[in-house]
Homo-oligomer: A and B are copies of this chain.
């Protein structure tokens, strides 16, 4: 049951509650338990938090006023977009002291500029809506992730999202041309400039991208667009192992890195789950293989030679034995069918039982070592475990996922999740990699920061956080582990 104006949330000081009500009006504030519930848990259901209220600003001025007011009352703020964090990055803690600031009302696409190839987008626009708007204007926003229908641009930038096309166009941070953000003291940083070159001080734009809401809240961004590809070639290749997959990547890259739109690795185990468990998914090759690569080449030019490039590299690779078998898509529907084999990996693994996910990266050259060593380690840990790594080999970013042995109790398997993750991460660390390639730290992985990014690196991060947010009101509990007291 919700009160009407002025609302009274138990944990908010009356003066703050009144000021927020005056600022946002009744429609801008949710306090009813039913209304608030979707905002206090993450979509993976890893965390169940509480909050004093959900605030829904309609514009940057309201957002800035919220931050100022909360700052004055030392009330923590958890920014939330589409609530699709993989690591609990947008979920409040259990104290109920925080407010969730929901950006979804700030959802205008303000401008698409065909001359500068840029778009100006408010934080609450979904990635899908931004992609669609760019496409309708004859361009492409080259960022694609599986949660794009829900994920909002603010969160996408704040977590520096990656995806299938990072190999060519870079992560979200690299697509960010300009931004406006509300800083922890409530000041608005207006960096909505669309300059390719601007050496006037520190790289604040790059710093805010990937800061997971701990240094400010993005309100509006300018993104770099690209022309739509006019030619595209997609092939599925069977390979003996990750070493062969890497050799194939090297062969394409030696010819032309700028042509590689995506280069995805899949294990034989994972592919078998897809063809077994996903209706209509069939392997278009003569026989199953130990591993697979999906490669997409693309060019903005209609008359490009990427078909020749694909045929020549694959021809050489078949001859040398690097590739065991290969099929090229000859139509849009065949292209879609090949991509579906990759995209259904997550769903097939879900159907196969309980699974443990590792979003890790290593130098590209060390992907084979990662896959070989981590496979051995996991199989030694839990006999019968199904090792099903897949992902962005071209970026060195592998989703090293493990599915429970057939017939094992899922609960018993998941009870060993930290053991499995630690086992994989020890190898990643030995290969000088990262425990979070795309998903960020959130609250799930803060405990790993001291060991992996400790010393001068974590201390520098802490100093920046303390300098910009001395009261620690911006998304507290994210990125940084609790300090020893």
Q: Contact partner of A199 among B183, B257, B437, B460, CB < 8 A?
A: B437
Tell me if A299 counts as interface (CB < 8 A to partner B): yes
Using C-beta atoms within 8 Å of the partner chain, give the interface range for chain A: 35 or more
Q: Digitize A176-215: 1 where CB-to-B-CB distance is under 8 Å, 0 elsewhere.
A: 0000000100011111011111111111101101110001
Using A187-B455, A300-B257 as known contacts, say yes or no to A437 and B197 having CB atoms under 8 A apart.
yes
Residues of B within 8 A of A191 (CB): 457
Residues of B within 8 A of A304 (CB): 256, 304-305
Indicate the member of A193, A206, A397, A445 with the most B CB atoms within 10 Å.
A206
* Contact B197 A432, beta carbon cutoff 8 Å: no
Query: A400 to nearest B CB, angstroms?
Result: 14
Tell me if A438 counts as interface (CB < 8 A to partner B): yes
Tell me if A441 counts as interface (CB < 8 A to partner B): yes
* Contact B468 A460, beta carbon cutoff 8 Å: yes
The stretch of A100-108, A111-119, A315-323, A381-389 in contact with B is A111-119
Give A192 to B463 CA distance when docked, in angstroms. Answer: 21
* Contact A203 B197, beta carbon cutoff 8 Å: no
Using A191-B457, A227-B253, A258-B300 as known contacts, say yes or no to A210 and B204 having CB atoms under 8 A apart.
no
Using A207-B207, A441-B201 as known contacts, say yes or no to A363 and B456 having CB atoms under 8 A apart.
no
Q: Contact partner of A459 among B174, B187, B207, CB < 8 A?
A: B187
The stretch of A12-20, A50-58, A158-166, A334-342 in contact with B is A158-166
Residues of B within 8 A of A194 (CB): 363, 432
Query: A233 to nearest B CB, angstroms?
Result: 14
Residues of B within 8 A of A118 (CB): 363
For residues 277 through 332 of chain A, which have their beta carbon under 8 Å from a beta carbon of chain B? 299-301, 303-305, 308-309
Tell me if A226 counts as interface (CB < 8 A to partner B): yes
Closest 8 CB pairs of A and B: A467-B467, A115-B365, A206-B206, A187-B456, A189-B456, A197-B437, A198-B434, A196-B395
A191-B457, A198-B361, A254-B300 known; 6 new pairs, CB 8 Å cut-off, are A116-B364, A166-B197, A197-B396, A199-B436, A203-B206, A226-B257
